[in-house]
Amino acid sequence: MKIDIQKLVRKNILNLKPYSSARDEFEGENGIFLDANENPFGELNRYPDPYQRKIRQKLSTINQISDENIFLGNGSDEVIDLAFRIFCEPGKDKVLTFSPTYGMYEVSANINDVELINLNLNDDFQIDLETLKPYLYDENLKIIFICSPNNPTGNSIKNIEYILENFNGIIFIDEAYIDFSPEQSFRNKIENFPNLIVSQTFSKAWGMASVRVGIAYASEEIIKFYNKVKPPYNISQLNQNAILNALNDENINQVSENNKLILNEKKILIESLKELKLVKKIFPSDANFVLIEVENADEIYKKLVEENVIVRNRNSVIKNCLRITVGSPQENLKLMETLKSIN
Ligand code: PMP
């Protein structure tokens, strides 16, 4: 069935006249720019390219996806939030998530006054399709968020294909951790599914969390709406420069070497954790962190903090579970020493 994206978009966004940035119609770099009330002096005096064309072109070449299918956000958190603004009528529409998962879907839903349907993942942290099925036909359900690999559980989510084939709203796949995973990205499926948004980020595998740049891959139609609603200059020139500098062959190789190192450290960490009495369970992970179940998460968390080792206490979400990011070899050693002293 052909999906009409326009029908999914909020009415006021369809008719919205977006802010038009100064210089929108001028593509050159050399000119006398007296159009944006900038200061003629200094090095950082000009507004950045609102559409981050250079970065999008590089990403387009690297990933073999047209730059018209790419949107850049101020972190993937902005990519998530803008999806609400494009598709969800406050006080009327709904989104759906699978719990436990990344907290920002719920926060963004609350900020945007959108009802959140939260279905629990099963004991293997997978989607239970039978529970999901009735919701797929709710006309007010606008977005299904799927985080894969999932944060905080670490596993990749199965059955995404089924949802793509059977849901006519927006399917938002959050692939923040995909570069650590053996699974394929869904990025290349945007050709077949005009209602699919795949988000990725420079914050994790690229090691650039401080720069705050996230990516949405989606149909041209969806990207056009992203550009319509985004703040005009959502990514600063300094941050655009940092990303541009990172997108060269040498650095890309370095990133890939670092990620191999992180995955190797993860293996070592898991082996050492297995030897601890206080660790009850280690959940399978396709990401750069592991979720473990311990005897008393609150107590162990507190003892680690006393030694300046900070992990994420997820006891309130999954009973007695801690989420541990894989650090450098030295950091992981310090973690293990401290855990052994508690053991
Ligand atoms: N998605 C997931 C699943 C995450 O874990 C995070 C960060 N913790 C984000 C998105 C946000 O990433 P950023 O805004 O840094 O791109």
Give the pTM.
Answer: 0.97
d(CA 304, CA 299): 9
Is the CB–ligand 1 distance for residue 75 below 6 Å?
A: yes
Is the CB–ligand 1 distance for residue 147 below 6 Å?
A: yes
Q: What are phi and psi of 265, to 5 degrees?
A: -60, -35
- At the fourth CATH level, the homologous superfamily of domain 251-342 is Aspartate Aminotransferase, domain 1 (3.90.1150.10)
Q: Name which of 136, 150, 79, 111 is nearest 323 in CA terms.
A: 150
The minimum-distance atom of ligand 1 relative to the CA of 78 is 14
Residue ranges, comma separated, of all CATH 3.40.640.10 domains in the chain are 5-247
Which residue's CA is minimally distant from atom 12 of ligand 1?
76
Reading the chain (343 residues) residue by residue, the pLDDT tens digits are 689 999 999 999 999 998 888 787 777 788 999 999 999 999 999 999 999 999 999 999 999 999 999 999 999 999 999 999 999 999 999 999 999 999 999 999 999 999 999 999 999 999 999 999 999 999 999 999 999 999 999 999 999 999 999 999 999 999 999 999 999 999 999 999 999 999 999 999 999 999 999 999 999 999 999 999 999 999 999 999 999 999 999 999 999 999 999 999 999 999 999 999 999 999 999 999 999 999 999 999 999 999 999 999 999 999 999 999 999 999 999 999 999 999 8
Is the CB–ligand 1 distance for residue 214 below 6 Å?
A: yes
CA distances from residue 207 to 69, 119, 161, 213, 254 in whole angstroms, order as listed: 24, 32, 30, 11, 11
Pocket test for ligand 1, best of 76, 185, 212 (most atoms within 8 A of CB): 76
The minimum-distance atom of ligand 1 relative to the CA of 213 is 16
The minimum-distance atom of ligand 1 relative to the CA of 147 is 3
Residue ranges, comma separated, of all CATH 3.90.1150.10 domains in the chain are 251-342
Q: How far is the CA of 175 from the centre of ligand 1 (A)?
A: 9
Pick the CATH number of 5-247 from 1.10.490.10, 3.50.50.60, 3.40.50.12280, 3.40.640.10: 3.40.640.10
